[in-house]
């Protein structure tokens, strides 16, 4: 018997032994085959997120699922009911995002497919941060959603105090501003009306009362709330993950964890000026077509600021944002 014949005989013997072992295992298991896992997927809406997990709603049923994808509340996804795992994120109509706080090269999606972004702010406790509002307006326009400034805690305003002038630059550029109070209910009806039938997200500085507003709109929500730190006059994080709530008028609201700073995702320094639309008409009169409205001579935008035609606070905010490095967050 030649060498090749011996190799062939040995291979056949090994194959026969393997088949015998497989048959013995099958008999030991009673001849039953292991159940196959179906690859069937279903469509659903992500209504809550946390570390490596989420809750998907479909046909009135909420299912806890695992996910290795960068999902956000508002995402429409394909998921496996049997494996309880999100398999695919469907195309997003709008995306509100920011750079990851730990790695500015990564995008962190705050919410998806939203119609309105309500930037919740407070006049006091914590104090109003106009710079953070201006950064949010850029991020909101970039997202494709509509902006809304919701001023909470107006019950803390003392007699004689007037914050109308502080907020006027935003109403002048067409951003809706609603003043309300979760504590006494002031302004809640206009807020409900503005959000009716829309998918919205509440976002803003820690401690401004986003969760308190949700509870005021519907006490059945029972969203967790917290107090502002007295020692630093800054908000504490009480919402640890994003969650979706539904109002009887069809408004669907996403509550998100508070932040203390907001970096801008994928916005170059040269692009910042295009998000300050009150500059647009005046910019046509600048001596240079690529004028940055910072140091150039014969700048019509700077002239408009000096003449009081553009709000100083908005222009100063533009200077701060445009002088920061790409995506850098401004500590508030």
In a domain, 22, yes or no: no
Contact present, 246 and 252 (Cβ < 8 Å): yes
Q: How many structural domains are present in the chain?
A: 3
Distance in angstroms (rounded) separating the CA atoms of residues 190 and 204:
19
**And the tokens for 25?**
């295992």
Burial class (CB in 10 A: 0-12, 13-18, 19+), 14: exposed
Instruction: Give CA–CA dist 52/20, Å, rounded.
Output: 44
Query: Strand, coil or helix: what is 49?
Result: strand
**pLDDT for the residue numbered 151:** 96
The whole-number pLDDT of residue 8 equals: 43
State whether 242 and 178 are in the same domain.
yes
The number of beta carbons lying within 10 Å of the beta carbon of residue 271 is 14
pLDDT at site 234: 46
What SS3 class is residue 118? strand
Of the candidates 228, 318, 260, 256, the one whose C-alpha atom is nearest the C-alpha of residue 101 is: 260
Residues 319 and 246 in one domain: no
| CA 54 from centre of chain | 15
CATH (domain of 300): 1.10.40.50
Q: What's the rounded Cα separation, in Å, for the pair 70 and 85?
A: 13
The pLDDT of residue 240 is 52
Cross-strand bridge partners of residue 76 = 45
The rounded distance, in Å, linking the Cα atoms of 67 and 71 is: 8
Tokens 């910019």, residue? Answer: 283
Q: What is the CATH number of the domain that holds 180?
A: 3.40.50.300
* Sign for the pseudo-dihedral over CA of 319, 178, 155, 153: negative
150's CB contacts (< 8 A; 6+ apart) are 118, 119, 120, 121, 178, 180, 191, 202, 213
Judge if 157 and 212 occupy the same domain: yes
Q: Which residues pair with 77 in a beta bridge?
A: 44, 89
State the pLDDT at residue 41: 85
- 156 and 70: one domain? no
CA dist., res. 125 & res. 235, Å (int) = 8
The pLDDT value given to residue 155: 92
205 in a domain, yes or no? yes
Packing angle between helix 130-143 and helix 312-323, nearest 10 degrees?
A: 70
In the DSSP assignment, the letter for residue 265 is T
Residue 94 and residue 112: Cα distance in Å, rounded? 6
Q: What are the backbone dihedrals phi and psi of residue 237, each rounded to the nearest 5 degrees, phi first? A: -75, 115
End-of-domain residue from the set 59, 89, 119: 89
CB 201 within 8 A of CB 256: yes
* DSSP-assigned letters across all residues of 13-24: HHHHHHHHHHHH
DSSP states of 71-84: --TT-EEEEETTTT
Query: What does each of the 332 residues of the chain score in pLDDT, given as a tens digit?
Result: 454 444 444 444 454 555 545 545 554 555 444 434 446 789 999 999 988 899 999 988 999 999 999 999 999 999 999 999 999 999 999 999 999 988 989 999 999 999 999 999 998 889 999 999 999 999 999 999 999 999 999 999 888 888 888 999 999 999 999 999 999 999 999 999 999 999 999 999 989 999 899 999 998 887 555 454 444 344 444 445 688 999 999 999 999 888 878 999 989 888 999 999 999 999 999 999 999 999 999 999 999 999 999 999 999 999 999 988 544 555 44
Asked if residue 12 is part of any domain, the answer here is no
| pTM of the model as a whole | 0.80
Residue 223 is predicted with a pLDDT of 59
Boundaries of domain holding 121: 95-255
Do residue 84 and residue 161 come from a single domain?
no
């Amino acid at each position: 018997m030649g060498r090749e014949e011996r190799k062939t005989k040995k291979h056949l013997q090994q194959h026969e032994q393997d088949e015998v072992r497989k048959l013995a295992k099958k008999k030991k298991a009673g001849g039953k085959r292991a159940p196959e896992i179906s690859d069937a997927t279903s469509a659903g809406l992500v209504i809550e997120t946390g570390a490596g997990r989420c809750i998907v709603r479909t046909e009135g049923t909420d299912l806890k699922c695992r996910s290795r994808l960068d999902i956000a509340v508002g995402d429409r996804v394909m998921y496996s009911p049997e494996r309880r795992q999100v398999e695919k994120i469907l195309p997003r109509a709008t995306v509100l995002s920011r750079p990851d706080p730990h790695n500015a090269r990564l995008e962190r999606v705050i919410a998806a497919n939203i119609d309105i972004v309500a930037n919740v702010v407070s006049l006091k406790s914590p104090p109003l941060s106009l710079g953070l509002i201006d950064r949010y307006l850029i991020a909101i326009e970039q997202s494709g959603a509509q902006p809304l400034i919701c001023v909470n805690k107006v019950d803390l305003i003392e007699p004689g105090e007037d914050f109308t002038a502080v907020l006027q630059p935003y109403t002048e550029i067409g951003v809706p501003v609603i003043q309300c109070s979760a504590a006494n209910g002031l302004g809640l009806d206009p807020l409900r009306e503005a959000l009716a039938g829309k998918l919205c997200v509440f976002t803003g500085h820690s401690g401004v009362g986003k969760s308190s507003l949700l509870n005021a709109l519907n006490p059945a929500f029972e969203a967790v709330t917290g107090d502002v730190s007295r020692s630093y006059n800054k908000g504490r994080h009480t919402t640890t993950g994003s969650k979706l709530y539904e109002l009887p008028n069809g408004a669907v609201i996403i509550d998100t964890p508070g932040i203390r700073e907001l970096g801008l995702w994928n916005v170059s320094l040269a692009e910042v000026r295009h998000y300050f639309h009150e500059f647009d008409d005046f910019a046509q009169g600048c001596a240079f077509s690529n004028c940055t409205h910072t140091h150039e001579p014969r700048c019509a935008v700077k002239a408009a600021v000096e003449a009081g035609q553009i709000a100083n606070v908005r222009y100063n905010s533009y200077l701060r944002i445009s002088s920061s490095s790409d995506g850098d967050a401004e500590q508030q």
